[in-house]
Amino acid sequence: MKNVLKYSTIICLIALTVAACESNKSSDTAASNTPEAKVASDTSANNPTETALSVTDKGCEPNQLTVTSGQNNFVLTNKSSKPVEWEILSGVKVVEEKENIAPGFVQKLKTNLQPGDYDMACGLRSNPKGKLTVKAGVGDSQAKGTVDQGQLVGAIAEYKVYITKEIDQLVTKTKILTDAVIAGDLPKAQKTYASAHLHYERTEPVAELFSDLDKSMDSRADDFAKKEADPQFTGYHRLEKALFQDKTTKGMKPYAEKLQKDGLDLQKRIATLTIEPKKMVGGAADLIEEVGKTKISGEEDRYSHTDLWDFSANVDGSQKIVELLRPVIQKANPELLGRVDANFTKVDQKLAKYKTPDGGFATYDKVSEADKKEMKTAIASLAEDLSQLRGTLGVE
């Protein structure tokens, strides 16, 4: 394997992280944007105290929270006019998040927090950040999992190698894209857009840990108050709009240069990042949930309609995680692994129907409504099963 020496210290670094991780007593099943989610409540006496918070068009209410370290349940209500996300940030790094909360709906986020001062990102990217203070608790305890931690360490080490190689490809292919934009070569830029962006989609559970780069590289216009006219709307989707909707490269040089610079910055940060077990394990579900909740509607690649490229990349990234964890999942819950494999097969079959001879995909407007519905059903089932992995493998 190439670059073995380059990554030889990864296992040692990750071992320290895994050794410090203990499992929660129950899995954090992903909440869904359904009417039932509005009234769902957990009455278990063993669960931590719930902390209520609302996200409005202007930010968080309340804008400052204090909780105790250890297990926390946040009950998040979207009182804004559009789907929102809520993030806990340590500097620019995302500690925990809940995405795509529909207007008027409630979702829960269960997380294990260490003492310290954090920021809260609420709704629009341009909204002011809130403050979260986590005070040290007494007697926080968690049950140890039954997972073979040695196997888990090895899987995470291999995942780091996979992520690093994907980001290397992202930098290389994004430069081809941005060079074409700068040169004014519209056909070449259009042709290379999807193949550059897919590497971000495969690595999203890790790439989006850096909130500043995720904002500048992969935000949609809806994340900003002024939509497409907002100066903070940059990155892949800003170029996508110019290339496919406006059909021009005029004025795009600054955006292209910034995107390439951000990609190089992401590459440097990934090189020194220790991936936490919960981020890898949870990432398998996160990738698929995002497809089911937002991408299936065609909202992400709304200008180019290259949505199936992103679907496929998300599935690739999720399948890679499951494959690396396969021996551990097989030991812990073989029935769950069987369902996951079966649902991956269903999704892969739907995607294969729209593959093109050049290795790409048909534009999303060519997908029939019947196939969209069937794909959504298969993705929802897959996401539900993958959401059990954190609890199954005892990582929190």
Parse the chain into domains and list their residue ranges: 30-135, 149-393
Tokens of 343: 């649902």
Record: fold of 149-393? A middle domain of Talin 1 (1.20.1420)
pLDDT attached to residue 72: 86
CA distances 58 to 14, 76, 130, 224, Å, are 39, 15, 11, 12
Q: Which residues of 145-173 are buried (b: 16+ CB within 10 A; e: fewer)?
A: bebebebbbbbbbbbbbbbbebbebbeeb
pLDDT attached to residue 34: 38
Cα 203 to Cα 162: distance, rounded to the nearest angstrom? 9
pLDDT attached to residue 396: 67
Tokens of 309: 């490229």
User: Rg of the Cα trace of the chain?
Assistant: 21
Cα 12 to Cα 235: distance, rounded to the nearest angstrom? 35
- Read off the pTM: 0.74
CA distances 97 to 109, 203, 282, 326, 328, Å, are 8, 16, 11, 26, 26
Domain 30-135 has CATH 2.40.50.100: no
Sheet holding 59-61, edge to edge: 59-61, 50-56, 70-78, 106-113
Mean pLDDT per segment of 10 residues, for the chain of length 396 residues? 43 42 39 37 51 87 87 88 82 80 84 85 80 76 50 91 98 98 98 97 95 94 92 97 98 98 98 92 93 86 96 96 95 95 94 94 94 91 94 85
